Every structure is written in structure tokens, then in C-alpha cells.
Amino acid sequence: MENRIELVLDDITRVRADAIVNAANSTLLGGGGVDGAIHRAAGPQLLEACRKVGPCPAGEARITPGFKLQAAYVIHAVGPVWKGGHLGEPGLLSSCYTHCLRLATEHECRSVAFPNISTGVYGYPKQDAAVIAICEVRKYLALHPLPDKVIFVCFDPENLAIYRGLLGI
């Protein structure tokens, strides 16, 4: 299974994958960070597609075409805002990953690239979020043949070091 997981330090808009995951807000109408970068790279058609599938509650995901991106699809995942961990945040973050992987499988994506969901302005502790991400991906891959490859895309060296430690690479 570990050969199905890859780790890179990069901008997710430049990663080659059938689907890339957008760390979106619940409106799906764009924002800052990963969300803004994906909307800018995909072009204005992405906003129109998001209007048709949104809004989206925390813990769920929606899928749209990738438009000008290299990826065929963008999976918009709405992670939880960190409020101390006692308001269901871990379950919501776990659910984000599961929803994304299900959508990727339903759309026959052989590869899917994830950013570090909820760890930016949503304030989720990076180590805790990485543990959840890796756990959910491993559980899903153990039960499903697709996707063939999951890529964790870290934008900063801190997240990269956390994932390397947890993945043992």
C-alpha cells in the first residue's frame, strides 16, 4: 500500500494527477491560500461550476471539472475550523478525506493529490491533521483498488517534515 502513497513539496496546481483536492470554504466560491490558487489556475469556469454544486458543509466534498488545470477534476473539500478539538473537528476532517477518495473512485481517478486540509487559516494543528490524513488514506486504500496513487502535496517544509516523519520516508 505504501507504494500507492507519494509525498511532494510543491504547488498543488502544478501536480500531475487525475484529481486535485481543493481546501475550500463552504461556499466553494474561492478564497485565499490553496483555494484561491486553484481558482486562479483553473480559470473563471471553475467558479461557475462551483456555483452549481455548492454550497458544501464541513466534512464533505464536491467535484467539478479541472478546466485549465492539468487535473481532469477538482475535488472541493471543506475541512473544519479548529476550535480546540472538542467540537467534532477530528471526525469532520476524517470525513473530508473519505468523501474525497470516494468521489475520486466514483470518477475513476487513478491518482489524487491532497493539500494539507484545514491547516492554514482554519488553524488545525499540522501534526494532528497529518495523522488523520494518513490514517484515512491508508484505511481507504486497503479496501479499494482506486486510486492507484495518493499524493500528499505540502506547500511548506514544515508540513513536509511532519509527513516524512509519519510516513517513515
H-state helical runs in 1-64: 33-42, 44-53
Q: What is the DSSP letter of 168?
A: T
H or E element: which one contains 76? strand 73-78
d(CA 35, CA 33): 5
Catalytic residue among 11, 35, 148, 156: 35
Identify the three-state secondary structure at position 93. helix
DSSP SS3 for 9: strand
Rounded Cα distance between 107 and 126, Å, is 29
Q: Specify whether 35 is catalytic.
A: yes
Q: Which residues are catalytic?
A: 35
